[in-house]
Amino acid sequence: MKIVLKPPHIFFGFVVVAAAIGLLEWHSPQIEDSNTIEITESHREFIRQQVELAGYNAAMQNWIEEEMLYREGLKLGLDKDDLIVKRRVVQKMRFLLEGMTPIQEPTAEQLQAWLDKNPQKFQTGQSIQFEHYFFSRGKRGDQALFDARDMLVQLRKPSSAKGALASDPFPLNTKQHPLPLDQVVRDLGGDLSKRIDALPVGEWSEPMNSALGVHLVKVTHKVNGRTMTVQEAGAALKTDLLAAQRATLNEASSAALLSTYKVELK
């Protein structure tokens, strides 16, 4: 059975990318089937930069030895079907593609549009106060989850029916006063903080895992804050927009290259 992938709809510019890759492949120098190692000025400059660490003669000898072993490895086909080598080549190709599709500096209008589209990422004045019981996986191992479940049963009972509540100490004091949400993120991590922020006020959570252990949380007070301005969001807003644009361009570049390939299922 043969499956041929049809070219997706892409911008003309990314067709140019595919053509440019082909041109690079045509002009790329091939490894000569020779035992002659040429030392160019760029090689000498690299060696000079290593002199301070190892000395000129040692650095030059090391480079020659690595070049020799690299060529011998290619002769033996050691680069074929090697996952590490393959991933390194893929990484270098991604860098090459990114260099061929530069991203322009975002305008004020683009930054504002991105902020309007993603207000939840850029909030200020958020604070949260919560009760927190922690069960260390380092101390309790897998028993931490079972102890947290037993504690949750106690916490959900009326006060008069609760038994002894024993958990492990945690450095972040969350019960006495509201904390800025960004501080909670720093102390508890982004994933756990998001889950805590999403909890309803006044209810004990189910056991929540983190890298440190298991947590039981009851949010007692929350201030939602407001969306930042473009100026307040600053570099974080710009970085987030550029990352999204780069991901889109990378996807389109890959699609342009893929359109030049025929994929067969045999």
Give the pLDDT band of residue 32 (cuts 50, 70, 90).
Answer: low
Whether 44 is in a domain gets the answer yes
Domain limits for position 193: 126-224
- Any bridge partners for residue 135, and if so which? 214
Query: Positive or negative, the Cα torsion across 246, 251, 255, 257?
Result: positive
**Residue 148: pLDDT over 90:** yes
Question: Does residue 5 lie within any of the structural domains?
Answer: no
100 and 144 both lie in a single domain: no
29 & 92 share domain: yes
pLDDT at 189 exceeding the cut of 50: yes
Examine residue 117 and state whether it is found in any structural domain, yes or no.
Answer: no
Q: H-helix or E-strand containing 214?
A: strand 213-223
What was the pLDDT predicted at 136? 92
Q: What is the largest CA-CA distance in the chain?
A: 87
pLDDT tens digits, 220-240: 998 888 999 999 999 999 999
Strongest mean pLDDT among 85-89, 136-140, 158-162: 136-140
Instruction: Judge whether residue 96 has pLDDT over 90.
Output: no
Taking residues 16-30, report their average pLDDT.
52
Q: How many domains does the chain have?
A: 2
> If we measure between CA atoms, which residue out of 252, 233, 18 comes closest to residue 106?
233
Does the pLDDT at position 65 exceed 60?
yes
Nearest CA-CA partner of 67 in 90, 104, 36: 36
Residues 101 and 131 in one domain: no
For 135, other C-beta atoms within 10 Å of its C-beta total 25
pTM above 0.85, yes or no: no
Q: Per-residue pLDDT tens for 115-132?
A: 999 998 898 888 888 999
Residues 96 and 134 in one domain: no
Residue 196 CA to residue 219 CA, distance in Å, equals 8
Co-location of 84 and 168 in the same domain: no
Q: Compute how many other C-beta atoms are within 10 angstroms of the C-beta atom of residue 130.
A: 21
Rounded to 5 degrees, φ, ψ at 207 are: -55, 130
Residue 70 inside a domain? The answer is yes
- The verdict on residue 208 lying in a domain is yes
Residue 214 lies in a domain: yes
Find the DSSP H helices in the chain: 12-27, 41-54, 56-75, 83-100, 108-117, 137-140, 143-155, 181-188, 190-197, 230-258
